[in-house]
Amino acid sequence: MRYRTVLFDLDGTLIDHFAAIHRCHAYAMRKLGLPEPTLAQVRAAVGGGLDEAIARLAGREHVAAALPLFIEHWNATNLDDVALLPGARELLAELNAAGVRCAVLTNKRGYAAREVCTHLGLDPLLAGVFGAGDVAWIKPDRRFTAHALAQVGGEAATTALVGDSPYDLAAAQNAGLGFIGVTTGTHSAEELRAAGATETFAGLPEARSAL
């Protein structure tokens, strides 16, 4: 194996959770009397953390009011329609069998990320799940990545980050990690390459060769 540690983004990389994310943004904006976003608009807004997504969709002036509405609906419905992306479980199992440490590094709320990973049966395959709110930082702040690596015993020089967005790429660059892009989430191969990615793949089965 090329790397000893692999950090995975969650939404759009390991899992498809966009229906639930869209539903909760629509709920919050409907409650506030604002136009409901489309699924495409939600996909384009996520990646930088929940507060930033709400600001992009509803306006920064509505973040404080929309956030508790989103979380209320999320806590009630978030496991209704979440699924692993093709090849996710198989790749994690193969990396584990080869002695590679795998962990999740996401800007989804940490408690929500751990709940989803447990629901999908990923816990035995992950050395840790690190999300927003666990520490003071989120991607692409290098301190967030350094925290995760310290917790799982990884070193930047032998770690790759697999993700679907420029936030993930910037996190890898800021921390000195390798980056492997997948286009199963929010950004196309062209967009990832324009941001500086050199290795992009249609999905996790195709990305296996880079790991």
**Which is it for the CA torsion 4, 8, 72, 57, positive or negative?**
positive
Q: Residue 197 is which amino acid?
A: A
C-alpha span between 134 and 181 (Å, rounded): 25
Tokens of 75: 């806590």
C-alpha span between 105 and 202 (Å, rounded): 20
> In 10 A of CB 80, how many CB atoms?
9
β-strands 159-163, 5-8 pairing:
parallel
Which DSSP symbol is given to 141? -
Question: Which residues does the annotation mark as catalytic?
Answer: 9, 11
